Amino acid sequence: MGPTQPGEMPKLPIPGIRHLIAVGSGKGGVGKTTVAVNLALAVARLGHRVGLLDADVYGPNVPLMLGISETPQAIGDRIQPIQTHGLSVMSMGFISPGDKPLIWRGPMLHSVVQQFLRGVDWGELDYLVVDLPPGTGDVQLTLIQTAPITGAIVVTTPSDVSLEDARKAVHMFRQVRVEVLGIVENMSYLICPHCAQRVDVFSYGGGQRTAAQMGVPFLGEVPLDPEVRIGGDTGVSVALRSPDDPHAAAFYALARNTLARIAETGAPRGPSIEVAD
């Protein structure tokens, strides 16, 4: 991120957090939260201290995908994130559990996002992964305008409809001067369980072509895998498996590519933190 321009809100550091990674998409239904959850788990299991902020007010599914049933407690004026699977987790779903919708106007959304960023006792984290709502609304703008984002990942599928909206998301991040770490193509293909052949359900190669056309890195393909869906529905996401597990391998590749991109960009970071052995 460059220096603050006239008229911009100051992007104040979040104490203890070195890097903030925003995971967004141009449209819903592309598996953005699945990518965010498994990315955070994979980065944590690669030896880093990781938090996951579920800021998707329209579909806060992180508690379900991580099997979390408890609610956060406060110590003094600081909210304590839920600790699970090596992650520190805060979610809009803790405010409105189950199928009750959150119907909030912009100022309320701004307030709760700020509370989640700065009123939560995140501790010392190498990476805070933020699962954004789809599109380019109030939550995205609040985060972008007030927090020093290291970079953003845009999730798409290979379909033309999804790719068109992914391009809009890339343009949005560029317009507000957020580094685009790259595009990840979710639901890229299906391995037929009967013949073991690749089936390109939603077309082929669109994410990689779009990344090349827009001059951003392509972070990888994530297959359409029933095990990924089962893991999310049961609270045991596939990235909890070994990096060598075929169902988890794509997420570990995404994690390594993301960390390499952050190192490559030399993005601004918070205070140096020693990772425990």
pLDDT band at 142 (very low <50, low <70, confident <90, very high): confident
pLDDT of residue 146: 83
Average pLDDT estimate for 252-268:
89
Record the pTM. Answer: 0.88
pLDDT of residue 1: 44
Handedness of CA 154, 174, 46, 57 (dihedral sign): negative
Which residues, listed in sequence order, are joined to residue 125 by a DSSP beta bridge?
A: 17
pLDDT band at 127 (very low <50, low <70, confident <90, very high): very high
The CA distance from 136 to 201, in Å, is 27
pLDDT band at 101 (very low <50, low <70, confident <90, very high): low
Residue 68 pLDDT more than 80? Answer: yes
pLDDT digits (tens, 9 = 90+) for 73-82: 999 889 999 9
pLDDT digits (tens, 9 = 90+) for 166-176: 999 999 999 88
- Walk me through the domains of the chain, giving residue ranges and CATH numbers: 17-265 (3.40.50.300)
pLDDT of residue 95: 76
pLDDT band at 274 (very low <50, low <70, confident <90, very high): very low
pLDDT digits (tens, 9 = 90+) for 36-61: 999 999 999 999 999 999 988 777 89
**Type and span of the H or E element at 218:** strand 218-222
Residue 153 pLDDT more than 60? Answer: yes
pLDDT band at 92 (very low <50, low <70, confident <90, very high): confident
Average pLDDT estimate for 147-172:
93
pLDDT of residue 182: 97
What would the two tokens of residue 86 be? 């090596």
pLDDT of residue 238: 96
Q: 82 near 90, Cβ under 8 Å?
A: yes
Task: Look at 275 and 224; give whichever has higher pLDDT.
Answer: 224
The CA distance from 116 to 137, in Å, is 17
The CA distance from 169 to 243, in Å, is 30
pLDDT band at 189 (very low <50, low <70, confident <90, very high): confident
The CA distance from 129 to 109, in Å, is 19
Compute the residue count for the chain. Answer: 277
pLDDT of residue 152: 96
The CA distance from 117 to 115, in Å, is 5
Residue 21 pLDDT more than 90? Answer: yes
Task: Look at 50 and 188; give whichever has higher pLDDT.
Answer: 50
